[in-house]
Structure 1
Amino acid sequence: MKHRGRHRRRRRARALRAALAGTALSLTAAATLISASQAQVDDGPGPLRALDSPAARGELRLTEHRVPARWLDRLSSSMGRPVGARTVLGSADRELREAADCTAEERAALPVAPAATRAYCWSEDDTRGWRPGAVTTSEGASADGRWGGHRVILSAWSSEEGGGHDDSGGEDGPGPRRGVGPSPADRPLSRVAFVDADDPDRPRHVSALLVVPVDGGRDYRSLGSPVSGMVWYGDRLLVTAGAGDRATLYAYDMDRVLRTTVGAGAVGRVPGGWSAHGYRYVLPAVAAYRPAGAAPRPAALSLDRTASPAGVVAGERVPAGAGRPARLWRYALGEEGARTGPLAADAAGHVDAVEVYETRAAGIGGVLAHRPSGSDRTGWYLTRAAREPGGRAVLGRQDGAGAEVVECGADRSKHCWSGETGSLSYDGRTGEVWSQSGRALFAVPLASIDAALR
């Protein structure tokens, strides 16, 4: 029996490699055809420019606002005790398809170069009306890179569809005050899919809606923001918030997943119990980070464990033609359990950037900082949006000395990455960089990216 299982896995692995190789070849040919109008993008973003002044770092200051413990306790008391990783992952009843079983259209969202070595596709039923967002893994969740003993990938999705009843009135918490922002029925929804990655041949997933406690913990509202950046560190999940929110980032406690009791389309307290737009779990925010004044909002986030101390790196998305550079910066991480949120804050709750850079890269969708062992230089990997609708993103690396980009095709097009500028998340245990585009979730070895850079 063991031998048959091993042979079956080998056959599936060969089929997967063949599918990905065939996809890479066909995408390379397609890229050669479409890149004639895109090959001359620009002269490259050039080197990073360090901004070392206190004023530059001060513009990026955040202030942590905790959700009062009594609010969270009241919510848990009303909804029931939080459920753990075993319960959440044990209820994962939706499957991802391996690349060999994906459609040609789905595989077309994968990178041209370097090719993905692992790829999966979401079903249309799970993604209809939702847009893919950030990806992160349990690599930073614990010393062994597991959550409750399991390898997990988190995948964020956002929908413009409102969630019905969703009262944000009452006592003011970290979310908008009454009358500020979109009405409850129009507020977008955001969720994270918990992907059980223990068996790479058969990943399963289940989703939880991201919510924010309101009215003293007697209710909750939807997050209402697309999640374009996400970091998992210890028992905390950090996600980006959109421009319509007073907060820039929200923090979630991975040990505080709550179970809903009513499968209605509404969000919040409803007759008969608690609802989350039909999802069986909610993840309530435990803290929000608000900027000082008109500080730039991070469009991309990732965890950098190669720095000492470990930190969260962020990238600002500035559209092409804006006439100004974008900023990249780093926040230090605090000690686990020291405060509500994962970022290192002072006694007043202030979080200051510890590094700030300027880049001429426009349309940043993903950011990753990595310092190889034994090196004194950190490379900043960025995905940049395609210049034309339906085009491909650009993947490159920058530091203070210069910039390199991945090229592909006979005409050396720079548009080689996925169909969308998804986030980047590095798993140091496998050496893979995870991202997603369209209905495809995929991994590329960082070593392959480095080898492809020119």
Structure 2
Amino acid sequence: MIRKIVLTALVCALLPPAAAQADTFKSVPATGLTWTRHGVDAAAYARLDNLAKFLPRRDLKFVLEHPRQTTQSAAGSPSLGQVGPGAVSAFKWSDRDNTGKWIPQGITGSAAAQADGLIGGHRSLLVSWYQDTAASPARVSFVNADSLDGATYNSATLVIPSGRTVRPIKTHAGGIAWYTHYLFVAETDVGVRVFDTNYILGAKKLPPTADLNAPFVLPQVGFYRQAKGAGLTFSFVETDRTAPALITGKYQDKKYNRRIVRWPLDPNSGLPALQASGAWKMPASNVQGGLMHNGRLLAASSYDPKASGGIGELVSGLPDQPAAHFRWPDGAEDLHYAGTSNRVYSLTEKSGDRIVFAIDASSVGLTP
């Protein structure tokens, strides 16, 4: 009996993870996966309009054309060498943001918001950051992505309107998605927060405790809260422009088969439906970002049990079909698909090696 147990344990230890669970994005029922909308109504916009009487309203064109910081070359980044499909472009943040208390998490771009990828005459990338403190405030950086060589950027603190002033939001901001003028920010145990990029406000008149020294603030206009019993975690969120939808999913340490969920978007209002239209179990653990495009799913994991040195993996596949696995950087976070260039963007959070990089989407099975 002892010999049999030892032999069985040895065989299991030699089997790859796919032998222990289905190596596919397995379709599961979306029944009961609902959420409710709060705000994003006339009363919420009245509060924003009232705030805009005291704080100047700035469009994205103004924000991008008045940058405070400049990115730098990512040459020599250890993370770039860990991108299995190979990076086609990349940058590193300014010295101040490459280290420090702000930690990058989510990524999206104007290619998710608009079909032509242009807003205010520019292509842009948006990145969310949080501080690993008790207060845990968050901000979004607006990167002028017309060229990633020497790209410039500006930031806005995420805030709650409060009369003539604002207060920073306590959130991890683990993922962001953009559709039309709405920015959706993942709120781990709740759902998503909603912001309107038409209401970026100048922060010059605010005290440092409100704007956290950012030149702009972005006030929340509402949120979506998961229904009781849905059992979801919102670690990340991304836009799927094909039959538009939000894609949300769960991070869990060394736990496979967590769900990734699809929420249809109304192409007229730009807001999500209250009932999910699909759900799948992911053949990876520690998933930091996921997306869907033309029916194919991607999941970016910061843990690959087959790799050494803490390297992650990118998993790509059609639902219920064998998935493909690619080497992925240590410390990589969210994903963003840019259909205008057929690229997949991601970013890393490790202090001293905080980069944004892109791969050719066709190398992982995505086509425009």
**TM-score, length-normalised on structure 2?**
0.85
Q: Find the aligned partners of 1:390 and 1:194 in 2 and give their Cα distance.
A: 32
Matched, 1:71 2:33: no
Structure 1 partner of 2:129: 157
User: CA, structure 1 residues 198+292, in 2 after alignment: closer, same or farther (shift >3 Å)?
Assistant: same
Secondary structure of 2:235's counterpart equals: strand
Q: How far is 1:125 from its partner?
A: 0.9
Structure 1 partner of 2:17: 42
Structure 2 partner of 1:283: 218
Q: How far is 1:115 from its partner?
A: 1.1
Aligned counterparts, 1:10-89, within 5 A: 42-43=17-18, 45-52=22-29, 56-58=30-32, 60-66=33-39, 68-80=44-56, 82-89=57-64
- Among 135, 158, 162, which residue is 2:107 paired with? 135
Matched letter for residue 116 of structure 1: A
- Structure 1: tracts of 5 or more residues without a match: 1-37, 162-185, 268-275, 346-350, 372-377, 408-415
- Among 182, 197, 201, which residue is 2:149 paired with? 201
- Among 293, 310, 321, which residue is 1:402 paired with? 321
Structure 2 partner of 1:427: 338
Matched letter for residue 304 of structure 1: D
- Among 167, 170, 175, which residue is 1:224 paired with? 170
Matched letter for residue 204 of structure 1: T
Matched, 1:383 2:318: no
Q: Of the two, which has the highest radius of gyration?
A: 1
Matched, 1:210 2:158: yes
User: CA, structure 1 residues 112+200, in 2 after alignment: closer, same or farther (shift >3 Å)?
Assistant: closer
Structure 2 partner of 1:319: 253
Say if 1:248 and 1:297, in contact at 8 Å, map to a contact too.
Answer: yes
Q: Find the aligned partners of 1:136 and 1:110 in 2 and give their Cα distance.
A: 23
- Structure 1 segments, 4+ long, off by >6 Å, are none
Aligned-pair identity in percent equals 26
Structure 2 partner of 1:191: 139
Q: Find the aligned partners of 1:206 and 1:281 in 2 and give their Cα distance.
A: 8
Q: Find the aligned partners of 2:213 and 2:119 in 1 and give their Cα distance.
A: 25
Matched, 1:304 2:223: no
Secondary structure of 1:258's counterpart equals: strand
Say if 2:112 and 2:240, in contact at 8 Å, map to a contact too.
Answer: no
Q: Find the aligned partners of 1:84 and 1:39 in 2 and give their Cα distance.
A: 56
Secondary structure of 1:99's counterpart equals: coil
Structure 1 partner of 2:84: 113
Q: Find the aligned partners of 2:336 and 2:14 in 1 and give their Cα distance.
A: 27
- Could you give the per-residue CA deviations for residues 167-187 of structure 1, whole angstroms, max 9, x where no partner exists? xxxxxxxxxxxxxxxxxxx42
User: CA, structure 1 residues 39+126, in 2 after alignment: closer, same or farther (shift >3 Å)?
Assistant: farther
Q: Find the aligned partners of 1:220 and 1:444 in 2 and give their Cα distance.
A: 38
Q: How far is 1:154 from its partner?
A: 0.6
User: CA, structure 1 residues 401+289, in 2 after alignment: closer, same or farther (shift >3 Å)?
Assistant: closer
Q: Find the aligned partners of 2:15 and 2:214 in 1 and give their Cα distance.
A: 46
Matched letter for residue 293 of structure 1: K
Secondary structure of 2:62's counterpart equals: helix
Matched letter for residue 381 of structure 1: L
Q: Find the aligned partners of 2:182 and 2:127 in 1 and give their Cα distance.
A: 15
Say if 1:109 and 1:419, in contact at 8 Å, map to a contact too.
Answer: no
- Structure 2: tracts of 5 or more residues without a match: 1-12
291-300 or 433-442: which moved more?
A: 291-300
Q: Find the aligned partners of 1:384 and 1:303 in 2 and give their Cα distance.
A: 19
- Could you give the per-residue CA deviations for residues 7-40 of structure 1, whole angstroms, max 9, x where no partner exists? xxxxxxxxxxxxxxxxxxxxxxxxxxxxxxx997
Structure 1 partner of 2:4: none
Q: Find the aligned partners of 1:397 and 1:86 in 2 and give their Cα distance.
A: 35
Say if 1:117 and 1:443, in contact at 8 Å, map to a contact too.
Answer: yes
Aligned counterparts, 1:409-424, within 5 A: 416-424=327-335
Structure 2 partner of 1:365: 288
Matched letter for residue 17 of structure 2: D
**TM-score, length-normalised on structure 1?**
0.70
Q: Find the aligned partners of 2:332 and 2:292 in 1 and give their Cα distance.
A: 16
User: CA, structure 1 residues 327+406, in 2 after alignment: closer, same or farther (shift >3 Å)?
Assistant: closer
Structure 1 partner of 2:271: 343
What's the C-alpha RMSD, in Å, of the aligned pairs?
2.4
Say if 1:210 and 1:283, in contact at 8 Å, map to a contact too.
Answer: yes
Of Structure 1 and Structure 2, the greater strand share is in: 2
